[in-house]
Structure 1
Amino acid sequence: KMGDTGRNICLIVVEFIGCLMLGLSQDIFRRTEKFYGGYFIFPWFVVGIMATCYRLTGAHLNPVITVANIIRRDKPAGFSSLLALLYIPAQYAGCWGGVALTWWFTRDPGQLTIQRKTGQDNFWYSEAVGMEFAASFMFVLVYLSQSGRFTWTAPETGLQALIIGASYGSLVAWSSRRTGGSLNPAYGFGQNFWDQMDEGAKESFQFIWIYTAIPFLGMVLALAIHMLVHVPGNQHAKEKAVE
Protein backbone atom coordinates (compact mmCIF):
# COMPACT_ATOMS: atom_id res chain seq x y z
CA LYS A 1 0.00 0.00 0.00
CA MET A 2 1.10 3.55 -0.71
CA GLY A 3 0.50 4.59 2.89
CA ASP A 4 2.61 1.73 4.23
CA THR A 5 5.39 2.55 1.77
CA GLY A 6 5.45 6.18 2.87
CA ARG A 7 5.45 5.17 6.53
CA ASN A 8 8.31 2.72 6.00
CA ILE A 9 10.37 5.35 4.19
CA CYS A 10 9.81 7.72 7.11
CA LEU A 11 10.97 5.05 9.57
CA ILE A 12 14.13 4.43 7.55
CA VAL A 13 14.80 8.19 7.52
CA VAL A 14 14.31 8.30 11.31
CA GLU A 15 16.85 5.50 11.72
CA PHE A 16 19.25 7.38 9.42
CA ILE A 17 18.90 10.64 11.37
CA GLY A 18 19.30 8.82 14.69
CA CYS A 19 22.54 7.24 13.49
CA LEU A 20 23.70 10.58 12.09
CA MET A 21 23.34 12.16 15.53
CA LEU A 22 24.81 9.11 17.25
CA GLY A 23 27.86 9.10 14.97
CA LEU A 24 28.36 12.83 15.46
CA SER A 25 28.07 12.76 19.26
CA GLN A 26 30.04 9.52 19.70
CA ASP A 27 32.93 10.82 17.59
CA ILE A 28 33.08 14.12 19.49
CA PHE A 29 32.78 12.75 23.02
CA ARG A 30 34.91 9.65 22.42
CA ARG A 31 37.89 11.90 21.71
CA THR A 32 37.81 13.56 25.11
CA GLU A 33 39.06 10.36 26.78
CA LYS A 34 37.88 11.76 30.10
CA PHE A 35 35.34 9.61 31.86
CA TYR A 36 34.16 12.44 34.10
CA GLY A 37 34.17 14.92 31.20
CA GLY A 38 32.77 13.99 27.81
CA TYR A 39 31.90 10.44 28.80
CA PHE A 40 29.81 11.64 31.71
CA ILE A 41 27.74 13.70 29.26
CA PHE A 42 27.72 11.26 26.32
CA PRO A 43 25.27 8.69 27.81
CA TRP A 44 22.65 11.43 28.17
CA PHE A 45 23.04 12.37 24.52
CA VAL A 46 22.45 8.73 23.65
CA VAL A 47 19.39 8.61 25.90
CA GLY A 48 17.96 11.62 24.06
CA ILE A 49 18.61 10.04 20.66
CA MET A 50 17.17 6.68 21.77
CA ALA A 51 14.08 8.28 23.28
CA THR A 52 13.42 10.18 20.06
CA CYS A 53 13.60 7.07 17.87
CA TYR A 54 12.37 4.36 20.24
CA ARG A 55 8.60 4.56 19.71
CA LEU A 56 9.04 4.74 15.93
CA THR A 57 11.80 2.31 14.94
CA GLY A 58 12.74 0.64 18.21
CA ALA A 59 15.92 2.77 18.14
CA HIS A 60 18.11 0.06 16.65
CA LEU A 61 20.81 2.53 15.48
CA ASN A 62 23.19 -0.41 15.25
CA PRO A 63 23.35 -3.35 12.77
CA VAL A 64 24.02 -5.73 15.67
CA ILE A 65 20.73 -4.77 17.33
CA THR A 66 18.86 -5.08 14.03
CA VAL A 67 20.18 -8.59 13.38
CA ALA A 68 19.43 -9.59 16.99
CA ASN A 69 15.82 -8.40 16.59
CA ILE A 70 15.42 -10.37 13.37
CA ILE A 71 16.66 -13.57 15.03
CA ARG A 72 14.94 -13.29 18.41
CA ARG A 73 11.74 -15.26 19.06
CA ASP A 74 10.02 -12.61 21.18
CA LYS A 75 9.91 -9.92 18.52
CA PRO A 76 8.29 -6.58 19.47
CA ALA A 77 4.71 -6.08 18.28
CA GLY A 78 4.46 -5.02 14.64
CA PHE A 79 8.08 -5.88 13.92
CA SER A 80 8.95 -6.38 10.22
CA SER A 81 12.13 -8.27 9.39
CA LEU A 82 12.17 -6.89 5.84
CA LEU A 83 11.91 -3.31 7.07
CA ALA A 84 14.59 -4.01 9.67
CA LEU A 85 16.96 -5.18 6.94
CA LEU A 86 16.46 -1.81 5.24
CA TYR A 87 17.50 -0.11 8.47
CA ILE A 88 21.03 -1.50 8.13
CA PRO A 89 22.18 0.56 5.10
CA ALA A 90 20.52 3.60 6.72
CA GLN A 91 22.55 2.95 9.88
CA TYR A 92 25.83 2.75 7.98
CA ALA A 93 24.97 5.88 5.99
CA GLY A 94 23.94 7.74 9.14
CA CYS A 95 27.08 6.96 11.14
CA TRP A 96 29.21 7.65 8.06
CA GLY A 97 27.53 11.03 7.73
CA GLY A 98 27.83 11.78 11.45
CA VAL A 99 31.60 11.30 11.44
CA ALA A 100 31.80 13.37 8.23
CA LEU A 101 29.95 16.20 10.01
CA THR A 102 32.41 16.00 12.89
CA TRP A 103 35.27 16.33 10.41
CA TRP A 104 33.55 19.36 8.89
CA PHE A 105 32.86 21.00 12.26
CA THR A 106 36.26 20.34 13.88
CA ARG A 107 38.60 19.86 10.87
CA ASP A 108 39.54 16.50 12.34
CA PRO A 109 37.62 13.24 11.74
CA GLY A 110 39.26 11.59 14.73
CA GLN A 111 40.78 8.14 14.89
CA LEU A 112 39.51 4.84 16.23
CA THR A 113 42.38 2.66 17.40
CA ILE A 114 43.13 0.17 20.15
CA GLN A 115 45.54 0.69 23.02
CA ARG A 116 49.25 0.00 22.66
CA LYS A 117 52.35 0.39 24.79
CA THR A 118 53.72 3.91 24.61
CA GLY A 119 56.31 4.34 21.89
CA GLN A 120 55.91 0.76 20.64
CA ASP A 121 53.94 -1.09 17.98
CA ASN A 122 52.82 -3.61 20.59
CA PHE A 123 49.05 -3.28 20.22
CA TRP A 124 46.87 -4.88 22.88
CA TYR A 125 44.81 -7.06 20.57
CA SER A 126 43.55 -9.60 23.09
CA GLU A 127 42.44 -6.90 25.54
CA ALA A 128 40.68 -4.93 22.79
CA VAL A 129 38.89 -7.99 21.42
CA GLY A 130 37.86 -9.11 24.90
CA MET A 131 36.58 -5.67 25.86
CA GLU A 132 34.64 -5.14 22.61
CA PHE A 133 33.11 -8.61 22.98
CA ALA A 134 32.14 -8.14 26.63
CA ALA A 135 30.72 -4.63 26.16
CA SER A 136 28.74 -5.66 23.07
CA PHE A 137 27.40 -8.73 24.86
CA MET A 138 26.20 -6.66 27.82
CA PHE A 139 24.60 -4.00 25.64
CA VAL A 140 22.73 -6.47 23.42
CA LEU A 141 21.53 -8.39 26.47
CA VAL A 142 20.20 -5.18 28.03
CA TYR A 143 18.48 -4.20 24.78
CA LEU A 144 16.85 -7.61 24.31
CA SER A 145 15.70 -7.77 27.92
CA GLN A 146 14.11 -4.31 27.74
CA SER A 147 12.50 -4.32 24.29
CA GLY A 148 10.53 -7.57 24.09
CA ARG A 149 7.05 -8.51 25.25
CA PHE A 150 8.48 -9.24 28.70
CA THR A 151 11.01 -6.88 30.27
CA TRP A 152 13.39 -7.25 33.19
CA THR A 153 12.49 -3.89 34.69
CA ALA A 154 10.33 -1.14 33.18
CA PRO A 155 7.45 -1.73 30.76
CA GLU A 156 7.20 2.02 30.00
CA THR A 157 8.87 2.95 26.72
CA GLY A 158 10.44 6.10 28.18
CA LEU A 159 12.21 4.14 30.90
CA GLN A 160 13.20 1.46 28.40
CA ALA A 161 14.87 4.10 26.20
CA LEU A 162 16.60 5.53 29.28
CA ILE A 163 17.99 2.15 30.32
CA ILE A 164 19.09 1.17 26.80
CA GLY A 165 20.63 4.55 25.97
CA ALA A 166 22.46 4.91 29.28
CA SER A 167 23.78 1.36 28.93
CA TYR A 168 25.20 2.03 25.46
CA GLY A 169 26.83 5.31 26.47
CA SER A 170 28.29 3.87 29.67
CA LEU A 171 29.65 0.77 27.94
CA VAL A 172 31.29 2.88 25.21
CA ALA A 173 32.98 4.85 28.01
CA TRP A 174 33.93 1.68 29.87
CA SER A 175 35.56 0.05 26.84
CA SER A 176 37.14 3.14 25.31
CA ARG A 177 40.57 2.81 26.92
CA ARG A 178 41.13 -0.56 25.28
CA THR A 179 39.08 -0.42 22.07
CA GLY A 180 38.68 3.28 21.33
CA GLY A 181 34.93 3.08 22.06
CA SER A 182 32.69 1.67 19.32
CA LEU A 183 30.29 -1.28 19.98
CA ASN A 184 28.68 -0.45 16.64
CA PRO A 185 29.89 -1.82 13.28
CA ALA A 186 28.27 1.09 11.42
CA TYR A 187 30.07 3.65 13.57
CA GLY A 188 33.36 1.73 13.49
CA PHE A 189 33.29 1.57 9.69
CA GLY A 190 32.41 5.26 9.33
CA GLN A 191 35.15 6.34 11.72
CA ASN A 192 37.82 4.19 10.03
CA PHE A 193 36.71 5.29 6.56
CA TRP A 194 37.02 9.02 7.23
CA ASP A 195 40.30 8.59 9.05
CA GLN A 196 41.60 6.85 5.93
CA MET A 197 40.33 9.71 3.75
CA ASP A 198 42.03 12.26 6.01
CA GLU A 199 45.36 10.62 6.85
CA GLY A 200 45.68 7.67 4.50
CA ALA A 201 47.58 5.88 7.25
CA LYS A 202 47.74 2.10 7.24
CA GLU A 203 46.38 2.04 10.81
CA SER A 204 43.03 3.45 9.66
CA PHE A 205 41.64 0.05 8.65
CA GLN A 206 44.06 -2.06 10.70
CA PHE A 207 41.53 -2.75 13.44
CA ILE A 208 38.28 -2.56 11.49
CA TRP A 209 37.71 -6.29 11.92
CA ILE A 210 37.44 -5.72 15.68
CA TYR A 211 34.76 -3.06 15.23
CA THR A 212 32.75 -4.86 12.54
CA ALA A 213 32.96 -8.53 13.57
CA ILE A 214 33.46 -8.80 17.33
CA PRO A 215 30.16 -7.06 18.29
CA PHE A 216 28.28 -9.75 16.36
CA LEU A 217 30.03 -12.45 18.40
CA GLY A 218 28.92 -10.70 21.58
CA MET A 219 25.41 -10.61 20.13
CA VAL A 220 25.42 -14.39 19.61
CA LEU A 221 26.13 -15.03 23.29
CA ALA A 222 23.54 -12.46 24.40
CA LEU A 223 20.92 -14.00 22.10
CA ALA A 224 21.64 -17.48 23.43
CA ILE A 225 21.18 -16.38 27.04
CA HIS A 226 18.09 -14.35 26.18
CA MET A 227 16.34 -17.14 24.28
CA LEU A 228 17.41 -20.00 26.57
CA VAL A 229 16.94 -18.27 29.92
CA HIS A 230 14.98 -15.03 29.73
CA VAL A 231 12.19 -15.96 27.30
CA PRO A 232 11.38 -19.41 28.80
CA GLY A 233 11.62 -17.99 32.31
CA ASN A 234 9.10 -15.26 31.58
CA GLN A 235 6.79 -17.69 29.80
CA HIS A 236 6.90 -20.01 32.80
CA ALA A 237 6.15 -17.11 35.15
CA LYS A 238 3.19 -16.09 32.98
CA GLU A 239 1.77 -19.62 33.02
CA LYS A 240 2.15 -19.79 36.80
CA ALA A 241 0.34 -16.47 37.16
CA VAL A 242 -2.58 -17.80 35.08
CA GLU A 243 -2.84 -20.88 37.29
Structure 2
Amino acid sequence: MFTEIFLPELMGTAVLLLLGGGVVANVLLARTSGGGGGPLMINLGWGLAVFAGVYVAYRSGAHINPAVTVGLVASGDDLGGDTALKVPVYVSAQLLGAFVGACLAWLVYRDQLDHPDSDAEDKLAVFATGPQIARTSSNLLTEVVATFVLVFVIIAFGRTPSGLGPLAVALLVVSIGASLGGPTGYAINPARDLGPRVAHFVLPIAGKRDSNWSYSWIPVVGPTIGGILGGLVAAAANYV
Protein backbone atom coordinates (compact mmCIF):
# COMPACT_ATOMS: atom_id res chain seq x y z
CA MET A 1 0.00 0.00 0.00
CA PHE A 2 3.02 2.29 0.29
CA THR A 3 3.45 3.01 -3.43
CA GLU A 4 -0.23 2.50 -4.23
CA ILE A 5 -1.73 4.78 -1.58
CA PHE A 6 0.60 6.23 1.03
CA LEU A 7 3.23 7.86 -1.18
CA PRO A 8 0.84 9.37 -3.76
CA GLU A 9 -1.44 10.73 -1.03
CA LEU A 10 1.51 12.16 0.90
CA MET A 11 2.98 13.84 -2.18
CA GLY A 12 -0.37 15.11 -3.45
CA THR A 13 -1.32 16.59 -0.10
CA ALA A 14 2.14 18.13 0.29
CA VAL A 15 1.75 19.88 -3.08
CA LEU A 16 -1.74 21.01 -2.04
CA LEU A 17 -0.45 22.65 1.14
CA LEU A 18 2.72 24.07 -0.40
CA LEU A 19 0.71 25.90 -3.06
CA GLY A 20 -2.32 26.64 -0.86
CA GLY A 21 -0.29 27.92 2.07
CA GLY A 22 1.92 29.74 -0.40
CA VAL A 23 -0.89 31.77 -1.92
CA VAL A 24 -2.12 32.80 1.53
CA ALA A 25 1.41 33.86 2.48
CA ASN A 26 1.80 35.78 -0.77
CA VAL A 27 -1.40 37.73 -0.19
CA LEU A 28 -1.25 38.35 3.57
CA LEU A 29 2.38 38.68 4.61
CA ALA A 30 4.57 41.78 4.43
CA ARG A 31 7.15 42.25 1.69
CA THR A 32 5.67 39.94 -0.94
CA SER A 33 4.82 40.61 -4.57
CA GLY A 34 1.22 39.48 -4.05
CA GLY A 35 0.27 41.73 -1.17
CA GLY A 36 -3.31 42.94 -1.37
CA GLY A 37 -4.33 40.25 -3.86
CA GLY A 38 -7.49 39.71 -1.86
CA PRO A 39 -9.77 36.75 -1.13
CA LEU A 40 -10.38 35.91 -4.79
CA MET A 41 -6.66 35.39 -5.38
CA ILE A 42 -6.59 33.07 -2.37
CA ASN A 43 -9.65 31.16 -3.64
CA LEU A 44 -8.12 30.73 -7.09
CA GLY A 45 -4.79 29.75 -5.59
CA TRP A 46 -6.37 27.04 -3.45
CA GLY A 47 -8.38 25.75 -6.40
CA LEU A 48 -5.25 25.45 -8.51
CA ALA A 49 -3.45 23.84 -5.57
CA VAL A 50 -6.16 21.17 -5.53
CA PHE A 51 -5.78 20.79 -9.31
CA ALA A 52 -2.06 20.11 -8.93
CA GLY A 53 -2.45 17.89 -5.88
CA VAL A 54 -5.06 15.69 -7.55
CA TYR A 55 -2.78 15.09 -10.54
CA VAL A 56 0.16 14.20 -8.29
CA ALA A 57 -1.96 11.74 -6.27
CA TYR A 58 -3.74 10.12 -9.22
CA ARG A 59 -2.41 6.61 -8.46
CA SER A 60 -4.23 6.49 -5.12
CA GLY A 61 -7.50 7.91 -6.40
CA ALA A 62 -6.40 11.40 -5.34
CA HIS A 63 -8.44 11.84 -2.17
CA ILE A 64 -5.87 14.21 -0.53
CA ASN A 65 -8.54 14.85 2.12
CA PRO A 66 -9.76 12.60 4.96
CA ALA A 67 -13.29 13.96 4.47
CA VAL A 68 -13.28 12.65 0.91
CA THR A 69 -11.94 9.28 2.08
CA VAL A 70 -14.61 8.79 4.76
CA GLY A 71 -17.27 10.24 2.47
CA LEU A 72 -16.52 7.67 -0.22
CA VAL A 73 -16.67 4.90 2.35
CA ALA A 74 -19.99 6.25 3.64
CA SER A 75 -21.32 6.18 0.08
CA GLY A 76 -20.57 2.45 -0.14
CA ASP A 77 -17.21 2.59 -1.90
CA ASP A 78 -14.97 -0.16 -0.49
CA LEU A 79 -11.81 1.56 -1.86
CA GLY A 80 -10.95 -1.54 -3.84
CA GLY A 81 -11.14 -3.86 -0.84
CA ASP A 82 -9.44 -3.97 2.58
CA THR A 83 -11.28 -0.79 3.55
CA ALA A 84 -10.44 -1.02 7.25
CA LEU A 85 -6.74 -1.19 6.41
CA LYS A 86 -6.75 1.42 3.67
CA VAL A 87 -8.58 4.23 5.49
CA PRO A 88 -5.82 4.68 8.13
CA VAL A 89 -3.19 4.59 5.38
CA TYR A 90 -5.00 7.33 3.44
CA VAL A 91 -5.55 9.52 6.50
CA SER A 92 -2.03 9.17 7.91
CA ALA A 93 -0.50 9.98 4.52
CA GLN A 94 -2.76 13.02 4.14
CA LEU A 95 -1.89 14.35 7.59
CA LEU A 96 1.85 13.86 7.10
CA GLY A 97 1.71 15.33 3.60
CA ALA A 98 -0.10 18.41 4.89
CA PHE A 99 2.55 18.89 7.56
CA VAL A 100 5.35 18.52 5.01
CA GLY A 101 3.70 20.92 2.55
CA ALA A 102 3.25 23.53 5.27
CA CYS A 103 6.91 23.22 6.22
CA LEU A 104 7.91 23.72 2.59
CA ALA A 105 5.75 26.85 2.38
CA TRP A 106 7.48 28.06 5.55
CA LEU A 107 10.88 27.57 3.91
CA VAL A 108 9.82 29.61 0.87
CA TYR A 109 8.28 32.43 2.94
CA ARG A 110 10.54 32.24 5.97
CA ASP A 111 11.83 35.81 5.63
CA GLN A 112 8.31 37.19 5.26
CA LEU A 113 7.01 35.11 8.18
CA ASP A 114 9.82 36.38 10.40
CA HIS A 115 9.44 39.99 9.25
CA PRO A 116 8.20 42.33 12.01
CA ASP A 117 5.70 43.94 9.63
CA SER A 118 3.85 40.64 9.19
CA ASP A 119 0.93 40.36 11.60
CA ALA A 120 0.82 37.37 13.96
CA GLU A 121 -2.77 36.57 12.92
CA ASP A 122 -1.73 36.54 9.27
CA LYS A 123 1.18 34.25 10.10
CA LEU A 124 -1.23 31.76 11.63
CA ALA A 125 -3.59 32.12 8.65
CA VAL A 126 -0.83 30.88 6.34
CA PHE A 127 -1.05 27.55 8.16
CA ALA A 128 -4.54 27.18 9.61
CA THR A 129 -8.08 28.45 9.28
CA GLY A 130 -10.00 30.53 11.79
CA PRO A 131 -13.43 32.11 12.13
CA GLN A 132 -14.26 35.73 11.46
CA ILE A 133 -16.84 35.52 14.26
CA ALA A 134 -16.06 32.88 16.88
CA ARG A 135 -19.29 31.00 17.55
CA THR A 136 -18.95 27.25 17.88
CA SER A 137 -22.33 26.22 16.49
CA SER A 138 -22.12 28.49 13.46
CA ASN A 139 -18.49 27.69 12.73
CA LEU A 140 -19.10 23.96 12.95
CA LEU A 141 -22.21 24.16 10.76
CA THR A 142 -20.32 26.15 8.13
CA GLU A 143 -17.64 23.48 7.86
CA VAL A 144 -20.24 20.71 7.77
CA VAL A 145 -22.21 22.36 4.96
CA ALA A 146 -19.18 23.35 2.89
CA THR A 147 -17.65 19.88 3.12
CA PHE A 148 -20.98 18.24 2.37
CA VAL A 149 -21.07 20.22 -0.88
CA LEU A 150 -17.49 19.21 -1.67
CA VAL A 151 -17.99 15.48 -1.17
CA PHE A 152 -21.51 15.25 -2.60
CA VAL A 153 -20.54 17.06 -5.79
CA ILE A 154 -17.29 15.08 -6.17
CA ILE A 155 -19.33 11.87 -6.05
CA ALA A 156 -21.81 13.37 -8.53
CA PHE A 157 -18.90 14.12 -10.88
CA GLY A 158 -18.30 10.40 -11.02
CA ARG A 159 -21.70 9.89 -12.66
CA THR A 160 -21.12 12.41 -15.45
CA PRO A 161 -19.08 11.97 -18.66
CA SER A 162 -17.60 15.46 -18.47
CA GLY A 163 -13.99 14.35 -18.62
CA LEU A 164 -12.95 17.44 -16.69
CA GLY A 165 -11.36 15.42 -13.89
CA PRO A 166 -9.11 17.50 -11.62
CA LEU A 167 -10.25 20.75 -13.24
CA ALA A 168 -13.83 20.10 -12.13
CA VAL A 169 -12.71 19.57 -8.53
CA ALA A 170 -10.51 22.66 -8.67
CA LEU A 171 -13.40 24.82 -9.88
CA LEU A 172 -15.62 23.33 -7.19
CA VAL A 173 -13.11 24.35 -4.51
CA VAL A 174 -12.92 27.88 -5.95
CA SER A 175 -16.73 28.06 -5.85
CA ILE A 176 -16.90 26.82 -2.25
CA GLY A 177 -14.24 29.31 -1.20
CA ALA A 178 -15.96 32.23 -2.91
CA SER A 179 -19.43 31.30 -1.68
CA LEU A 180 -19.05 29.56 1.68
CA GLY A 181 -15.52 30.41 2.76
CA GLY A 182 -16.20 33.74 4.42
CA PRO A 183 -17.17 32.67 7.95
CA THR A 184 -14.39 30.16 8.70
CA GLY A 185 -11.87 30.18 5.85
CA TYR A 186 -13.28 26.86 4.52
CA ALA A 187 -10.93 24.20 5.80
CA ILE A 188 -13.19 21.48 4.25
CA ASN A 189 -10.27 19.10 4.88
CA PRO A 190 -9.14 17.93 8.34
CA ALA A 191 -5.58 17.27 7.13
CA ARG A 192 -5.34 20.68 5.46
CA ASP A 193 -5.91 22.36 8.81
CA LEU A 194 -4.45 20.02 11.43
CA GLY A 195 -1.14 19.18 9.74
CA PRO A 196 -0.20 22.82 9.08
CA ARG A 197 -1.44 23.89 12.51
CA VAL A 198 1.04 21.46 14.03
CA ALA A 199 3.70 22.91 11.73
CA HIS A 200 2.87 26.43 12.96
CA PHE A 201 3.20 25.18 16.53
CA VAL A 202 6.63 23.57 16.09
CA LEU A 203 8.34 25.82 13.54
CA PRO A 204 10.59 28.67 14.75
CA ILE A 205 8.52 31.58 13.43
CA ALA A 206 9.45 34.96 14.88
CA GLY A 207 6.61 36.83 16.57
CA LYS A 208 4.02 34.13 16.09
CA ARG A 209 0.92 33.87 18.25
CA ASP A 210 -0.40 30.65 19.80
CA SER A 211 -1.78 28.09 17.34
CA ASN A 212 -5.42 28.54 18.48
CA TRP A 213 -5.87 24.95 19.63
CA SER A 214 -9.22 25.80 21.21
CA TYR A 215 -10.65 26.16 17.69
CA SER A 216 -8.64 23.36 16.07
CA TRP A 217 -11.25 20.63 16.56
CA ILE A 218 -13.86 22.41 14.43
CA PRO A 219 -11.99 22.12 11.08
CA VAL A 220 -11.45 18.44 11.90
CA VAL A 221 -14.88 17.41 13.20
CA GLY A 222 -16.95 19.63 10.89
CA PRO A 223 -15.43 18.38 7.61
CA THR A 224 -15.54 14.79 8.83
CA ILE A 225 -19.27 15.06 9.55
CA GLY A 226 -19.86 16.89 6.28
CA GLY A 227 -17.95 14.28 4.31
CA ILE A 228 -19.89 11.40 5.85
CA LEU A 229 -23.21 13.15 5.22
CA GLY A 230 -22.18 13.91 1.64
CA GLY A 231 -21.45 10.24 1.04
CA LEU A 232 -24.66 9.03 2.69
CA VAL A 233 -26.88 11.47 0.78
CA ALA A 234 -25.13 10.67 -2.49
CA ALA A 235 -25.81 6.99 -1.93
CA ALA A 236 -29.44 7.62 -0.94
CA ALA A 237 -29.94 9.77 -4.04
CA ASN A 238 -28.40 7.05 -6.24
CA TYR A 239 -25.36 9.12 -7.26
CA VAL A 240 -23.00 6.19 -6.70
Name the TM-score class by shorter chain. Answer: 0.7 to 0.9
Aligned to 2:32: none
Establish whether residue 69 from structure 1 lines up as the match of residue 83 from structure 2: no
Relative contact order (alpha carbons < 8 A, sep ≥ 6): 1 or 2 greater? Answer: 2
- Offset of residue 165 of structure 1: 2.7
Distance 1:86 1:125, change over 3 A: same
Match of 2:161 among 131, 154, 157: 154
- Offset of residue 205 of structure 1: 1.0
Distance 1:154 1:53, change over 3 A: farther
Establish whether residue 110 from structure 1 lines up as the match of residue 110 from structure 2: no
Match of 1:22 among 16, 20, 23: 16
Match of 2:147 among 136, 152, 164: 136
1:202-221 paired onto structure 2 within 5 Å: 202=210, 204-221=212-229
Q: Which has the higher mean CA deviation after the structures are superposed, 11-20 or 45-54? A: 45-54
* CA deviations over 1:4-23 (Å, ceiling 9, x no partner): xxxx3212111100000111
- Offset of residue 213 of structure 1: 0.3
How far apart are the structure 2 equivalents of 1:25 and 1:172?
15
Distance 1:16 1:62, change over 3 A: same
- Offset of residue 201 of structure 1: 4.1
Letter in 2 for 1:165: A
Aligned to 1:240: none
* CA deviations over 1:182-219 (Å, ceiling 9, x no partner): 11111111232233334674452121111110111112
How far apart are the structure 2 equivalents of 1:16 and 1:85?
13
> Identity, % of aligned pairs?
22
- Offset of residue 178 of structure 1: 1.4
How far apart are the structure 1 equivalents of 2:150 and 2:232?
14
1:206 match: secondary structure: coil
Establish whether residue 51 from structure 1 lines up as the match of residue 85 from structure 2: no
- In the alignment, is the contact (CA less than 8 A) between 2:124 and 2:211 conserved in 1? no
Establish whether residue 10 from structure 1 lines up as the match of residue 3 from structure 2: yes
TM-score, normalised relative to structure 2: 0.76
How far apart are the structure 1 equivalents of 2:168 and 2:78?
19
Gaps of 5+ in 1: 1-7, 117-122, 235-243
1:59-98 paired onto structure 2 within 5 Å: 59-75=62-78, 78=80, 80-81=82-83, 82-98=85-101
Aligned to 2:190: 185
- Offset of residue 179 of structure 1: 0.9
Q: How many residues align?
A: 211
- Offset of residue 68 of structure 1: 2.0
CA RMSD, Structure 1 to Structure 2 (Å): 2.5
Aligned to 2:41: 37
Higher helix share: 1
How far apart are the structure 1 equivalents of 2:124 and 2:192?
12
